[in-house]
Structure 1
Amino acid sequence: MDPVTAALAVFALMLAVLASGMWVFLALATAAAISLFAFMGFPPDRIGAIASRIIVRSASSWELAAVPMFIWMGEIMFRTDISERLYKGLSPLVAKIPGGLLHTNVLGSALFAAVSGSSAATTATVGRITTSELNRRGYSKSLALGSLAGAGSLGLLIPPSIVLIIYGVLAEVSISKLFIAGVLPGLMIACLYAVYLGIRCSITPNLAPKGIVPEEDASVFAIIRNLAPIFGLIFVVLGSIYTGWATPSEAAAIGVFAALCFATIGGQLSRKMLSESMINALKTSCMVCAILMCAAFLSSAIGYMHIPRNIALAIDALDLSPYVLIAFLALFYIVLGFFLDGISIIVMSLPITLPVVVAAGFDPIWFGIFLVIMIELGLMTPPVGFNLFVIQSISGEPIQRVAAYATPFFLLMCFGALLMVIFPEIALWLPTYLSS
């Protein structure tokens, strides 16, 4: 069987097993076992030995310790008044610029993304306060919900990002470098959103009512008091990583401690809040880690079949331009985003696409950021656009209308990805500079 046919067969098998309704981690393990049995002729006992060895080794990865910690930190902050304080702190700063309070969606999402690591948590936390406030003050619903869909997806890109941790573990690259590589692309896309909002509202002033004085306290002390928790967490988590004082896993534990301290100071830490945050973090962490362990088994199965190496050789024989290859991969990932969540996309495709991309001369750190942007695009596209479902639950708008509102921001993120392809230094300059 030629490499392309083998890859398509394995991929079709995964989609078929997923379509059966089986849990993702079981689907990955089942696809791996069937592939080794059907295509390689491995007996069941050898397949079991391979699976047990790979799963135990994957579960023992120290880097995975960061996943439950960052998830728990996000769960704690989600149950505090951080979204309300973010809005109160940001609204006096943006009220008088074109677009007005619409920028609280972009800035609020960018800031909360730096302590969450989750797109859904970022969208829900920021959206539950800004959506009602912007609607009450007469702002354009399409821009309010569309900007929330776009900016909320930054939770996957701006560190600390759970998806970047997963990519780092699977691709065996530095998670710290991935984190710092995501900063400038995330800020660039946030700036694109802000500029777009400013231009749209300057051309059509009734989209953002003028002359509305923020109801929040605009004093410098009040702004600092409201923004202190979020900036404090960013400083504690990212500062400890980039100063070399802590690894990402250790920084995650420090972040949880800091989040508990902020919740205690704010009088919001209770036994109920603590238990709910721990239970939800445990459920999500178990899901993520189970998927990663089974994905490692699938990667090994694909390796036994020599699919990545053979596909890389086949593509190399085609003598495609690296940019043509990236264009095809971008289209491939956008289509996958119509049907699959980000973690599933990474674990299913990375064993095949990463060797091909590296063979084409692209840096794996750069490709990790590019891949996350492609996944973020999937968060804004139906039928499986998680951000759209979150916004639908917040606003009550039909999913088709929310998707239409998000379309301009989808296109802006595509433009951001194009800029990163043309200028890879956007992702690579900061980690190179800090490591030099």
Structure 2
Amino acid sequence: MDLFITIALVVLLFALLGSGVWIGLTLLGVAWIGMELFTSRPVGDAMAVTMWGSLSSWTLTALPLFVWMGEILFRTRLSQDMFRGLAPWLQRVPGRLLHANIVGCTIFAAVSGSSAATCATIGKMTLPELARRGYPEDMTLATLAGAGTLGLMIPPSIIMIVYGVTAEVSITRLFIAGVIPGLMLAALFMAYTMVWSLAHPGRIPPPDAPMSFARKVHASRHLIPVVTLIAAVLGSIYVGIATATEAAALGVVGALVLSAVQGSLSRRVFVESLMGATRLYCMIALILAGAAFLTLSMGYIGLPRRLAEFITGFGLAPFWLLFWLLVFYMVLGCFLDGISMVVLTMGVILPTIQRAGIDLIWFGIFIVMAVEMAQITPPVGFNLFVLQGMTKRQVPWIAKVTLPFFLIMAAAVGLIYFFPAIVTWLPARIS
């Protein structure tokens, strides 16, 4: 009977998702049916209490603030100036301006927190310029799609905030833990781009006219506003003078001030950024509320406990447990976005992870890497959708050219497993 209930609810969940019903409403509906039919607790009271509790967390306040900060940068000259400051320094590196995608995404990820926003913002700056200069479209899109996922890893990260809230771990420690893995991924992406460029020298346009060191330094002045904002937001967290929520508020104020100083902040930009952030956060909040209620419903039915017992009953070693979880998230990523993946599964997966003795901060970075890989996995890879909208190329073609970066991320998961200090060393030194 328990197996029948579980299968029926899972089939109903995917049927509603496949029919196009909003994810948050789907989660709430399935949770309501599960509690109404298979438990004795009053459903209305349980839903009201759970939804309020999941959305009234002070920690969660950081999420809409970071989203708003990213929207401000997306709509002002701060993001555009980044390319102008980076380009002169990349002319002599193998691959040349292809690295502008990777370095630009790495920098913007530190003030955005969203993979899609990072990919779209850097793409709007670099794609026309790289096409005009004759860079190959396949490698241009591949570097952008791969590096765009860094918006999830390099703090501040929306997905880390969601994981921290659902797993009840320190968001500040998660942010700190994501720094080295994020920079490692960026370095791996750049290394592959260099190797590819050396193997295909005829596909890379010749360098621009040489610039003196003084002119390069002068061009770098365009990076100062963004670098200042990054230092203010992340520095306040790392030195312990601000929580993630306070740093997010500082980031919004800093983005508004810098945009105003540059003259790119208008009433229209302010309203559009605020409304864009509101729409995105409302979508996320509905998903979080629905997932919290679904987790409660499944808990009353007993699914998490039985599933944890089922998985641990196999006696899997941590390596194989994580391996099959990675495969599971890759499959789930074909149907759901990253936030939905995290909030849907944490209530079921975390008891098993804790029983296996896996550090929850390390597991948070593992989950972020898995979600990063899902961002470029068809058919629901968000970065693929972003690039399709910008280039009119088909998703399968974009996924094909992005495959090497998917494999690089898979290798990075192996690195953090065999060398966990990549994740745990910095939080242990700072926190």
Cα pair distance change 1:7/1:425, threshold 3 Å? farther
**Aligned counterpart, 2:167:** 171
* Cα displacement (A) at 1:217: 9.6
Q: Residues of 1 paired with 2:142 and 2:210: CA distance?
A: 22
The match for 1:349 among 337, 345, 348 is: 345
Q: Match of 2:222, as an amino acid?
A: N
**Aligned counterpart, 2:317:** 321
Q: Match of 1:149, as an amino acid?
A: A
* Cα displacement (A) at 1:93: 1.3
- Structure 2 stretches lacking a partner, 5+ long: none
Cα pair distance change 1:30/1:205, threshold 3 Å? same
- Could you report, residue by residue, the CA deviation over 1:378-435 in whole angstroms, capped at 9, with x for unpaired residues? 1112211111121122223222221111111111111111111221211111111212
Whether the aligned pair in 2 keeps the contact of 1:6 and 1:307 (CA below 8 Å) is no
SS at match of 1:320: coil
**Aligned counterpart, 1:394:** 390
Q: Residues of 1 paired with 2:276 and 2:193: CA distance?
A: 35
* Cα displacement (A) at 1:325: 0.9
**Aligned counterpart, 2:31:** 32
Q: Match of 2:348, as an amino acid?
A: I
When structure 1 is superposed on structure 2, of 362-371 and 31-40 the one drifting more is: 31-40
* Cα displacement (A) at 1:113: 0.3
* Cα displacement (A) at 1:339: 1.3
SS at match of 1:219: helix
Q: Are residues 1:414 and 2:410 paired?
A: yes
**1:6-85 equivalent positions in 2, closer than 5 A:** 7-40=6-39, 42=40, 46-85=42-81
* Cα displacement (A) at 1:221: 4.1
Aligned length: 431
- Could you report, residue by residue, the CA deviation over 1:165-205 in whole angstroms, capped at 9, with x for unpaired residues? 01110110000011111111111111111000001111211
**Aligned counterpart, 2:252:** 256
Cα pair distance change 1:334/1:215, threshold 3 Å? farther
Q: Residues of 1 paired with 2:318 and 2:240: CA distance?
A: 35
Whether the aligned pair in 1 keeps the contact of 2:71 and 2:276 (CA below 8 Å) is yes
Q: Residues of 1 paired with 2:100 and 2:333: CA distance?
A: 27
**Aligned counterpart, 1:213:** 209
Q: Match of 2:393, as an amino acid?
A: E
Q: Match of 1:29, as an amino acid?
A: L
Q: Residues of 1 paired with 2:210 and 2:301: CA distance?
A: 62
- Could you report, residue by residue, the CA deviation over 1:61-114 in whole angstroms, capped at 9, with x for unpaired residues? 001111111111000000112333111111111110111111110000010000
Q: Residues of 2 paired with 1:210 and 1:290: CA distance?
A: 50
Whether the aligned pair in 2 keeps the contact of 1:308 and 1:356 (CA below 8 Å) is no
Q: Residues of 1 paired with 2:213 and 2:52: CA distance?
A: 54
Q: Match of 2:411, as an amino acid?
A: F
Q: Residues of 2 paired with 1:385 and 1:35: CA distance?
A: 30
**1:24-423 equivalent positions in 2, closer than 5 A:** 24-40=23-39, 42=40, 46-213=42-209, 219-423=215-419
Whether the aligned pair in 2 keeps the contact of 1:150 and 1:406 (CA below 8 Å) is yes
Cα pair distance change 1:6/1:328, threshold 3 Å? farther
* Cα displacement (A) at 1:216: 11
Q: Residues of 1 paired with 2:325 and 2:212: CA distance?
A: 46
Identity fraction in percent: 46
- Structure 1 stretches lacking a partner, 5+ long: none
Q: Match of 1:184, as an amino acid?
A: I
Whether the aligned pair in 2 keeps the contact of 1:95 and 1:213 (CA below 8 Å) is no
Q: Match of 1:251, as an amino acid?
A: A
Instruction: Name the TM-score, length of structure 2 as normaliser.
Output: 0.96
Q: Are residues 1:431 and 2:427 paired?
A: yes
* Cα displacement (A) at 1:7: 4.7
Aligned-residue Cα RMSD (Å) equals 1.8
Whether the aligned pair in 1 keeps the contact of 2:88 and 2:216 (CA below 8 Å) is no
Q: Match of 2:27, as an amino acid?
A: L
Q: Residues of 1 paired with 2:313 and 2:280: CA distance?
A: 42
Whether the aligned pair in 2 keeps the contact of 1:112 and 1:122 (CA below 8 Å) is yes
Q: Match of 2:81, as an amino acid?
A: R
Cα pair distance change 1:412/1:6, threshold 3 Å? farther
